[in-house]
Copies of this chain bind each other. A is one copy, B any other.
Amino acid sequence: MCELLAMSANVPTDIVFSFTGLAERGGVTGPHIDGWGITFYEGKGSRTFKDAKPSSESHIAQLIKSYPIKSETVVSHIRQANRGGVSLENTHPFTRELWGRYWTYAHNGQLSNYEEKFVTRRFKAVGDTDSEQAFCWIMDKVVHRFGDVAPQSMSDVFAYIATLADEIRELGVFNMILSDGNDLMFYCSNNLSYITRKAPFGKAKLIDTDVVIDFKKETTPNDVVTVIATRPLTDNEDWYILKPGEWKVFRKGILMFGSESL
């Protein structure tokens, strides 16, 4: 299994605090030592930092922790390999371009008997994980359904992706984070939680390492920041724990639609 972390914010925000907690789970407080990755969107562009080394030992993870990159949308993952060897091509997040946008995806869980289902035409996996094959299958299905141009309403696209995630969940555990840079979708199979922080901001304390942050000092009163994680990262705040099959789409930190609102 692996750990997921993502963020959606209405102003470019650094994720150093949350990433510091997550990175500890990559070899110190957690067993996820088979690589890690993080994608930052900045405008329509994105950049991904990846390493097949444990996040707790990685030089590049040190950079991320010490050099705040401000972003409105972040997708991150630390890996404990089950399907697929430990290598850069098997390290999440995975990215593909569709409709002139970069789509970024990370998966926590394990699937079985997926080989026949995940035969794809246009999007093909580079590595050999079940996760990347599921991503390529979703993207193939989305193109088949909606064509080569983005539809007006993205809510239709994410609602359709949720039905695909329901199908995938029948093959095992499928906690997923997916973003096109504007919207951030997350789908829960068994372990996923989120918190939305807004004014009045308070202090938060990481569970995995001895770090406390006072968000009041780091934010302005208009900031809205939603953080998604496999398990809550702080122990003095109320995280929302998703139910199996539940999904949400956030844009600029705010809930746009999801399984309950449709």
* Residues of chain B contacted by A50 (CB below 8 angstroms): 45, 47
* Residues of chain B contacted by A126 (CB below 8 angstroms): 44-45, 97, 100-102
A157 close to B (CB within 8 Å): no
A230 close to B (CB within 8 Å): no
* Contact with A99, one of B47, B67, B88, B124 (Cβ below 8 angstroms): B124
* Contact with A88, one of B46, B90, B123, B148 (Cβ below 8 angstroms): B46
A28 close to B (CB within 8 Å): no
Among A49, A96, A124, which residue has the most Cβ atoms of chain B within 10 A?
A124
A196 close to B (CB within 8 Å): no
Give min CB distance, A91 to chain B, whole Å.
7
Oligomer copy total: 2
Say whether chain A's binding surface is mostly helix, strand, loop, or mixed: mixed
The interface bits of chain A over 160-203 (1 if a CB of B lies within 8 angstroms of the residue's CB, else 0) are 00000000000000000000000000000000000000000000
The interface bits of chain A over 200-223 (1 if a CB of B lies within 8 angstroms of the residue's CB, else 0) are 000000000000000000000000
Taking CB atoms and an 8 Å cut-off, the chain A residues in 70-112 that contact chain B are 87-91, 95-102
CB distance B125 to A90 under 8 Å?
no
The chain B residue with its CB closest to the CB of A139 is B97
The interface bits of chain A over 31-46 (1 if a CB of B lies within 8 angstroms of the residue's CB, else 0) are 0000000000011111
Cα-based distance from A43 to B98 in the complex (angstroms): 25
Cα-based distance from A126 to B100 in the complex (angstroms): 4
A60 close to B (CB within 8 Å): yes
* Residues of chain B contacted by A52 (CB below 8 angstroms): 42, 45
* Residues of chain B contacted by A46 (CB below 8 angstroms): 88-89
* Contact with A97, one of B47, B48, B67, B123 (Cβ below 8 angstroms): B123
* Residues of chain B contacted by A245 (CB below 8 angstroms): none
A121 close to B (CB within 8 Å): yes
A59 close to B (CB within 8 Å): yes
* Residues of chain B contacted by A148 (CB below 8 angstroms): 121-122
A154 close to B (CB within 8 Å): no
* Contact with A63, one of B44, B63, B98, B127 (Cβ below 8 angstroms): B63
Cα-based distance from A225 to B88 in the complex (angstroms): 22
Please name the 10 residue pairs, one residue from A and one from B, whose CB atoms are nearest each other, closest first: A45-B88, A45-B89, A100-B124, A44-B89, A42-B88, A47-B50, A59-B67, A44-B126, A63-B63, A100-B126
